[in-house]
Amino acid sequence: MMDFEPPLRLTLGGSALVSNWRALDKRSGAARAGAAVKADAYGLGAREVVARLRDAGCRDFFVAHWGEAEAIADLIPPEWIAVLNGISSADVPGARALGAIPVLNTVEQVELWRTSGGGRCHIMFDSGINRLGLGPEQLTAAAIHGVEVDLLLSHLASADADVAQNGAQLSSLQSVITTVNAKRRSFANSAGIMLGDDYHFDLTRPGLSLYGGIARSEMAAFIKPVVALSARLLQVRDVSAGSPIGYNATHICNADTRVGTISIGYADGYLRAFSGKGTARVGGHIVPVIGRVSMDLVTLDLTGIPDIGEGDWVELDYDLISASALTGLSQYELLTNLGSRFARVWR
């Protein structure tokens, strides 16, 4: 294999990541903060994230799939990993060999865990999101006998908003707490941490805000950006007024224009929602995306920008709050869409 330098780069702030985890851990009060590292740590790269948070003192890591647990299991004791999406009978031998801990979501999964040997597990209680977990009718002492419950978890549906559903879910969780003889309890995601001590229990599970997402507006005061996107200029051309740019000529230049084409596209997660809306930075100038974002290319209006040419790097504006407002994509989508062609460079 030859080593080609990718023409697009994600610059990742290792100290910002750790600072965000510490800030969330502190705001979790008496509870510890864990880390949701599913979906390749929201697109950043799970192995790099896990190693850094482990060194910072994080001891609980949440993934969705068993394959995601396997991909990080050599970095930490496997029992520090919880697999949120549960377990099937086909998963059991691998799960036991790996040693990561299943989050059991149904009565059937508890039964499967018990009959295949029992032991340490986590239980998800559905307190009202109606998505995954045992509901109030299913979570009985009989249903969970014979397994050793480490964490009793539940997940908030609307912690990013001040709505009655938060309190209703809290009451629902409190009403089953004595039913389950769990070592620890966990309720809050990033946004839930800001709802106050009642929501913290023993362990919080931030994801988005570790990676720079502002899950609630008050978090902007202490959460630092972690991700920056840059791409190389592949070509610069001067076109005359009236020239069409890109697929379907969605942009017509209203004056003579210098057009720069950079090496990033929707296949990299820079979605078509940025067409004609996104902006980028070159040498201290802000330049607009013109025309449609295509699979591997984006066109910029570089008119009036001196001393820029083929091979130069351009930074895309990717502040999660503004990019979300601009495109209608959620901060979660903006992160998890980031593709595999980036060089991921940790600073």
Ligand X SMILES: *Cc1c(COP(=O)(O)O)cnc(C)c1O
222-261 mask for ligand X (x: CB under 6 A)? ----------------------------------------
CB of 67: closest distance to ligand X in angstroms? 16
- Least separation in angstroms between residue 216's CB and ligand X is 10
Nearer to ligand X, 106 or 190 (CB): 190
CB of 260 to ligand X, least distance (A): 35
Report the residue number, 190 or 263, with the smaller CB distance to ligand X: 190
Stretch 166-225 residues interacting with ligand X (CB under 6 A): 189-190, 205-208, 215
Contact with ligand X (CB under 6 A): which of 10, 41, 84, 144? 84
Sign of the C-alpha dihedral, residues 334, 336, 337, 343?
Answer: positive
Determine if 155 is a binding residue for ligand X (CB under 6 A): yes
Residue from 191, 206, 268, 277 nearest 21 by CA: 206
3 state SS of 199: helix
Locate tokens 């880390």: which residue? 35
Residue owning tokens 């294999």: 1
**Is residue 36 a contact point for ligand X (CB under 6 A)?**
yes
107 sits in which H/E element? helix 107-115
| 123 contacts ligand X (rule: CB under 6 A) | no
Nearest residue to the partner ligand X, using Cβ: 207
Q: Specify the residue, 223 or 289, whose C-beta has the smaller distance to ligand X.
A: 223
User: Cβ–Cβ contacts within 10 Å for residue 237, how many?
Assistant: 12
State the nearest-atom distance from the C-beta of 330 to ligand X, in Å.
10
CB within 8 Å of 332: residues ≥ 6 apart: 42, 208, 213
41-80 footprint of ligand X as x/- string (CB under 6 A):
----------------------------------------
**Partners of 289 in beta bridges:** 300
# residues contacting ligand X (CB under 6 A): 11
* Pick from 312, 316, 291, 313: nearest CA to 301: 291
Q: Shortest Cβ distance from residue 53 to ligand X (Å)?
A: 14
Q: Which is nearer to ligand X, 45 or 246 (CB)?
A: 45
Q: How far is CA 32 from CA 29, 178, 221, in A?
A: 8, 21, 21
Q: Smallest distance from the beta carbon of 65 to ligand X, in angstroms?
A: 12
Q: And the tokens for 119? A: 């032991």
Q: Which of 278, 288, 284, 287 is nearest to 328 (CA)?
A: 278
- The smaller minimum CB distance to ligand X, of residues 207 and 278, is found at 207
> What are the angstrom distances between the C-alpha of 283 and each of 136, 313, 342?
58, 9, 21
Kindly list the catalytic residues.
38, 247
Nearer of residues 68 and 301 to ligand X, judged by Cβ: 68
Alpha carbon distance 256, 303 (integer Å)? 8
Strand partners, 316: 229, 280
Binding site for ligand X (CB under 6 A): 36, 38, 84, 155, 189-190, 205-208, 215
